[in-house]
Amino acid sequence: MTDSPISNALATRDNGPGALVAQHRGDIELVMPSHMQKRVGAWIRTTQGLLRRDEKLLKAAQNDPGQFMAVLLDAARLGLEPGTEQYYLVPRWNNKKRHTEVTGVRGYQGEIELMYRAGAVSSVIVEVVYENDQFEYRPGRDERPLHEIDWDAEDRGKLRLAYAYAVMKDGATSKVVVLNRGHIAKARAKSDSADKDWSPWNTDTEAMWLKTAAHRLTKWVPTSAEYIREQLRAHADVAAEQVLATAALPQPLLEDDEVVEGEFVDEDEVA
């Protein structure tokens, strides 16, 4: 008896990348931040849905399942949603392997999420400026940019600038990052897939301008991983100082302030 087309389809599906994601649920959950672990099932189903909807992504995952899982584990470790503006899943041509493979690209929402998660900021502002917008910012004079938009305008013109800054928990403003077209062009040039039709640089240009500004801001604002490490290091330093301080204190006398005096013993008197 031969297998039916439906049985063959199920077998193919069960052996494909979608099934691989489910099989590695334990590994994915292990590297996820604790606040994400409760929804690991939804995270996996979302990823499987992406594969069903995008044939190019599915093919790339089939070409190199190991690379595909490495990308997913990176997204899971960061606590970001794959296939969203937090973390893009992109099929990219690998010249050495001569096939497409899945690569991960952190999006601007992902960069912002990591800043918020660190707990040092109260808000993060990342925006793009179009030619017909009004934008003014002078470092040393202005604490924050002044950006005015005519929301009734049908056409705001071409992309002109991208900027980002954070308001810290104490109310202070972080460094303000402002990038022009030249800065964006240099960032784009570093991407070996920017000229491909499927690249986020072409499918979601504004988002990539935002991502570039947000990523540049991470040099001045702590993100979750580094902030947690600094906090742990600070706690360890405080604990070490407390131990040293305790060791340096004068040792207390014995109970009832009793002092035990030493006595020399003549060796000749010892039997």
Q: What is the pLDDT of residues 12-39, one digit of tens each?
A: 445 689 999 999 999 999 999 888 888 8
Whether 248 is in a domain gets the answer no
Whether 31 is in a domain gets the answer yes
Q: How many residues does the chain have?
A: 271
State the residue for tokens 């990342």: 126
Which DSSP helix (H) or strand (E) runs through 125? strand 121-130
Domain boundary among 106, 139, 171: 106
Residue whose C-alpha is closest to residue 129's, from 150, 152, 110 = 150
In this prediction, residues 123-129 reach a mean pLDDT of 96
In whole angstroms, give the CA distance from residue 163 to residue 214: 8
In terms of domains, do 126 and 177 share one?
yes
In this prediction, residues 250-265 reach a mean pLDDT of 40
In terms of domains, do 136 and 199 share one?
yes
In this prediction, residues 72-89 reach a mean pLDDT of 91
Residue whose C-alpha is closest to residue 213's, from 174, 246, 242 = 174
Structural domain count of the chain: 2
Whether 260 is in a domain gets the answer no
Whether 191 is in a domain gets the answer yes
In terms of domains, do 52 and 35 share one?
yes
Assigned token pair, 2: 């031969």
Domain boundary among 106, 125, 159: 106
Q: What is the pLDDT of residues 136-192, one digit of tens each?
A: 999 999 999 999 999 999 999 999 999 999 999 999 999 999 999 999 999 999 887
Domain containing 78 equals: 12-106
End-to-end CA distance of the chain: 102
In whole angstroms, give the CA distance from residue 72 to residue 103: 9
State which amino acid sits at residue 10: L
DSSP result, 157-218? -SEEEEEEEEEETTS-B-PPEEE-HHHHHHHHHT-TTTTSTTSHHHHSHHHHHHHHHHHHHT
In terms of domains, do 121 and 201 share one?
yes
